[in-house]
Amino acid sequence: MLPIGTTALLSVLENPCHVRRWMPDLEELEVLTQHDGHSLVYMRTRAPWPLRPRDAVTRFTRHITEDGIVTLTMRGESDAVAPVPGVVRMPFIDGQWQLTPAQSAPASAPEGGTLTRVDYAQRVSPGGGVPQWLADQTAVRHVRATLAALEEYLEEYVEQRPEDNDCQTAELPGADDGSTGYQPGRDA
């Protein structure tokens, strides 16, 4: 459960100014197309040595049910953008975020009592000859790191710095030092 409403959380998941702040190992993010709940997104991430950076072209599709459950599906479209030299394209991506409004908030909820249950699942093939067993082990750590970074971002930036909720005026942390991507535990 995260201490934020589904609409606000969806904004944090869909708006690049927020994603750049919390997504672990993110080097580049560009929304290629966006309309009617569909987005085509290019992302490049750092990889540990001796691996080369990875990139992906992913179609995100938003579905909202009548009872307010939001599902953001992810499907790789690896051929939608030409390969980038020196970067390994991930040939397969499939996953989803599911955001479920809490029916009732416990007494420990933040003021206002808004909570959202977050379920995140992703399957990837990292490409570049990485054995699938190793990719699967790494994926479990990546999901945990992603959820932890999102939770920390929400605590540090969204709730404590409401002026940054507007993506038009928000400045990226570390923008003056050339870094990109959210780095957990780092002061902005």
pLDDT band at 70 (very low <50, low <70, confident <90, very high): very high
Q: Are 71 and 107 in contact (CB under 8 A)?
A: no
pLDDT digits (tens, 9 = 90+) for 108-161: 555 556 889 999 998 888 898 888 888 888 888 888 999 999 999 988 755 565
CA–CA distance, 45 with 50 (Å, rounded to integer): 14
DSSP state of 78: T
For the ranges 34-48, 68-82, 92-106, 151-165, which has the lowest average pLDDT? 151-165
**Which of 76-90, 130-144, 172-186 has the highest mean predicted lDDT (pLDDT)?**
76-90
Percent of the chain whose pLDDT exceeds 90: 47
CA–CA distance, 88 with 164 (Å, rounded to integer): 33
Closest by Cα among 187, 150, 118, 158 to 22? 150
CA–CA distance, 144 with 39 (Å, rounded to integer): 24
Residue 105 CB neighbour total at 10 angstroms:
15
Does pLDDT of 19 surpass 80?
A: yes
Length of the chain: 188
pLDDT band at 55 (very low <50, low <70, confident <90, very high): very high
174 versus 10: which is more confidently predicted?
Answer: 10
pLDDT band at 92 (very low <50, low <70, confident <90, very high): very high
Report all structural domains of the chain as residue ranges with CATH numbers, in order of start.
6-170 (3.30.530.20)
Q: Are 182 and 170 in contact (CB under 8 A)?
A: no
Report cis status (omega within 30 of 0) of the bond before 162: no
CA–CA distance, 82 with 104 (Å, rounded to integer): 47
Percent of the chain whose pLDDT exceeds 70: 77
5 versus 71: which is more confidently predicted?
Answer: 71
**Coil, strand or helix: which one is 169?**
coil
What is the pTM assigned to this prediction? 0.78
Burial class (CB in 10 A: 0-12, 13-18, 19+), 3: buried
CA–CA distance, 88 with 56 (Å, rounded to integer): 9
